[in-house]
Amino acid sequence: MKMQQQHIRRAIGMPLDRVDGRQKVTGSATYAYEYQVERGTYAFPVQSTIARGRVVEMDTSAAQALPGVVAVISYQNAPRLAHLDDADLAVLQSDAVAYYGQFIAVAVAETSEIARQAAGLVTVRYEEQPHDVTLRADPGVLYAPETVSPDYATDTEKGDVETALASAAVSIDHTYTTPTEYNNPLEPHTTVASWNDDGGVTIYDATQGAHSIRDDVSKAFGLPPERVRVIARYVGGGFGSKGSTHPHVILTMMAALVAQRPVKLALTRQQMFALAGYRTPTIQRVRLGADGNGQLTALAHDVVEQTSTIHEFAEQTAVATRIMYAAPNRRTTHRLARLDVPANAWMRAPGECPGMYALESAMDELAVACKLDPVELRIRNIPTSDPETGRPFSSHGLAACLREGARRFGWQQRDPGPRKRQEGRWLVGMGVASSTYPVYQFPAHALVQVDRAGQYRVRIDATDIGTGAWTVLTQIAADALEAPLDRVRLEIGDSSLPEAAVAGGSSGTASWGSAIIAAARKLRARLHKQYHDVIPDEGLEATGEGGTNPGEQQFSMHAFGAQFAEARVHVDTGEVRIPRLLGVFAAGRIINPKTASSQLLGGMTMGLSMALHEGGVRDPRFGDIANHDFASYHIATNADVGTVDVAWINEEDQHIGPLGAKGIGEIGIVGTAAAIANAIYHATGIRVRDLPITLDKLLR
């Protein structure tokens, strides 16, 4: 068949509706827990009620006697797992308890209700040991990890920071804290496991990366990777929490193996607070020194954060500070406290989000001390090259974002002094903060096929966690193939497809898209060269690889942005309202303005939630999170969010790959909390350095 030659309208850059929108609205999009399996059973875990110790006795007889119970599994009868690098995944392999909420048994039954009842009938006696669950800046319990996530140096230092601070014309020295924060995607963490007759297994999982689950499961159960298939076509949010394998995946696999029937497990909202990762709390000391013109002469950012005793995760909290502003004398450090707590993990913009809250709050305090406009102070200190590596930036749009944001927000009307504007009983202020996120790309593979009818099938194990990957990858493929959108069929979310990296680090579109472009170009070349656009009876296919960028060895690559906030604080009650937020970003090429705006708006809303609402409260007596549900762990809802305006500047970056896209999933949250905190200071004259900013901190 000869392909029809026609003018094709470019899809990239168009604000197209989501191609999966109808399926999601009508409920026909199938999420992990909704897959139907024959003779399916349900699992409900038994969790530890101590923070440290061991199980010395467990009675499962009442649970096993309950009608409808298929199995009760504990460390006494659980299948033995292969050697694991991650001790947190060694589920039911010993009697040891490392944190409150750890799996110590699981009940499998014909219904979810029976499984839950059976789990409640299991009685346990412990040998409790002293525990420590409280983060504090105590040098006696802190240590320096080898690296911080993913592979950054733990500490960096240039020049003589202490001397420069001591001699600075203006200096500040403050400590900022952020609490434990939880990802809480709308779709809970769920796994459905079904062992096949040939000894392989099919898993339906709410994950940000099917291949990563496949690899961890195959290692744990000693299976060849090709015997494990993981399906995750639709995922209802993740924010990083579904980017790595958590213990419930292993537990579900184990339950299905013992029961010899498919098993479904869905963590409850309360269980997710212990078992699905979280953002570490931080204690951050920031010291800045400047000359009389507000030019930074010294910068020090020292971070204390936590990790668990059985799984080290060192969040890269001070890494963004290394590239944000120029200063000849600079130091960043990270120190960890190893505590008897669940494993922390990725949460939207790990590192940049809490780290930039501290840095951008400190920059606001420096602007006040220097009697300079906060926008102007930031612009004066933008580096001409990467302060750490000396490499030139592939592009740098921060100054443009700050200026455009100031113009749009009406910044020129702002009185520089705090507590100067009052409307009725409300104090009104404005705040600003910078945002940044690195350009990540990871290896990806794609397969593109064309049939005799000229219909294209694009296959890649990408994952759409609600970000719009179904849509933007279809747009990218259509343009690369020079074909209409309706002739492109995308297949993603399945480990049987060509391997691609996890949906994380704002890397998906650039990584997956470059692989699709490479495969499409090969296919187009083959059609033109071999068949002059005539497709043979059996069709054609081509593979492509992407996600690697030689330019990263020559350039420093980052997206930048500026966040502006208006805060209103009630004089009598301390209530805070944020009627206006504006974010202006420089993030390379925008593939789909509609989905991009949605991502940036969502990130900024999450930043508002971080500033005013979110904070896990760990009970030091028992080691558990006391507010482990939405009744007491508050997140921003519609009534809390005023007008959120999103914009971006046109930025062409020739060095970041064929798409020129930098990633936008995370930069929206970065800087938002600081902008709000700075606006609250401007409204009230009260500087709050400990998140969240609740009304009790403003009643003075």
How far is CA 540 from its chain centroid? 38
Pairing type for strands 422-423 and 426-438 reads antiparallel
Q: Is the dihedral of CA 680, 681, 686, 691 positive or negative?
A: positive
Residue 378 pLDDT: 98
- The Cβ of residue 253 has, within 10 Å, a number of other Cβ atoms equal to 26
Contact 104, 37 (CB under 8 A): no
SS (H, E, C) 199-261: CCEEEEECCCCHHHHHHHHHHHHCCCHHHEEEECCCCCCCCCCCCCCCHHHHHHHHHHHHHCC
Q: Report which secondary-structure segment, H or E, holds 380.
A: helix 374-380
Q: What is the largest CA-CA distance in the chain?
A: 79
Residue 6 pLDDT: 54
Residue 531 pLDDT: 58
Q: Is the dihedral of CA 136, 137, 138, 140 positive or negative?
A: positive
Q: Rounded to the nearest 5°, which phi and psi values hold at 362?
A: -65, -40
- The Cβ of residue 77 has, within 10 Å, a number of other Cβ atoms equal to 12
Full DSSP string of 59-83: E-HHHHHSTTEEEEEETTTPPPPPP
Q: Which two tokens stand for residue 177?
A: 């804290």
34 Cβ contact list (under 8 Å, min separation 6): none
Torsion angle, CA of 340/343/347/349, rounded to 10 degrees?
80
Q: In what order do the strands lie in the sheet with 422-423?
A: 422-423, 426-438, 558-570, 576-586, 643-648
Q: Which two tokens stand for residue 631?
A: 């009744």
Please list the residues that pair with 543 across neighbouring strands: 447
Integer Cα distance of 621 and 617 in angstroms:
12
Residue 666 among the catalytic residues: yes
Integer Cα distance of 556 and 551 in angstroms:
9
Contact 564, 374 (CB under 8 A): no
Q: Which two tokens stand for residue 234?
A: 């639709």
Integer Cα distance of 484 and 42 in angstroms:
44
- Among 348, 350, 286, 342, CA closest to 317: 350
Residue where the block lists tokens 């010395």 = 56
Residue 67 pLDDT: 98
Q: Which two tokens stand for residue 473?
A: 């990858």
Integer Cα distance of 35 and 16 in angstroms:
29
Contact 408, 582 (CB under 8 A): yes
Q: Which two tokens stand for residue 522?
A: 């090969």
- Among 647, 538, 646, 656, CA closest to 602: 646
Contact 683, 421 (CB under 8 A): yes
Residues in the chain: 700
Q: Provide the 8-state DSSP code for 393.
A: B
Q: Rounded to the nearest 5°, which phi and psi values hold at 193?
A: -120, 135
pLDDT mean by block of 10 residues, the chain; 700 residues:
61 96 96 97 98 98 98 97 91 98 98 98 98 96 97 98 98 98 97 95 98 97 97 98 98 98 98 97 98 97 98 98 98 98 98 98 98 98 97 98 98 97 98 98 97 95 97 98 97 98 96 98 87 74 91 94 98 97 98 98 98 98 97 96 97 93 96 98 98 95
SS3 category, 579: strand
Contact 96, 285 (CB under 8 A): no
Indicate which residue of 352, 388, 566, 666 is catalytic. 666
167 Cβ contact list (under 8 Å, min separation 6): 289, 297
Q: Which two tokens stand for residue 438?
A: 């690195």
SS3 category, 131: coil
Q: Rounded to the nearest 5°, which phi and psi values hold at 484?
A: -65, 155
Residue 550 pLDDT: 78
Contact 364, 170 (CB under 8 A): no
Integer Cα distance of 658 and 675 in angstroms:
34
Q: Which two tokens stand for residue 636?
A: 């921003």
439 Cβ contact list (under 8 Å, min separation 6): 394, 510, 549, 552, 557, 558, 559, 588, 656, 662, 663
Q: Is 634 exposed, middle or buried (0-12, 13-18, 19+ CB in 10 A)?
A: middle
Contact 448, 435 (CB under 8 A): no
What domains are there in the chain, each with its CATH number?
A: 21-30+444-548 (3.30.365.10), 34-130+188-235+242-275 (3.90.1170.50), 142-181+279-439+554-698 (3.30.365.10)
Q: In Å, what is the CA distance from 68 to each residue of 113, 115, 279, 523, 649? A: 10, 8, 39, 55, 60
Residue 698 pLDDT: 97
Contact 576, 698 (CB under 8 A): yes
Q: What is the pTM of this model?
A: 0.97
- The Cβ of residue 8 has, within 10 Å, a number of other Cβ atoms equal to 14
Integer Cα distance of 303 and 228 in angstroms:
40
How far is CA 193 from its chain centroid? 25
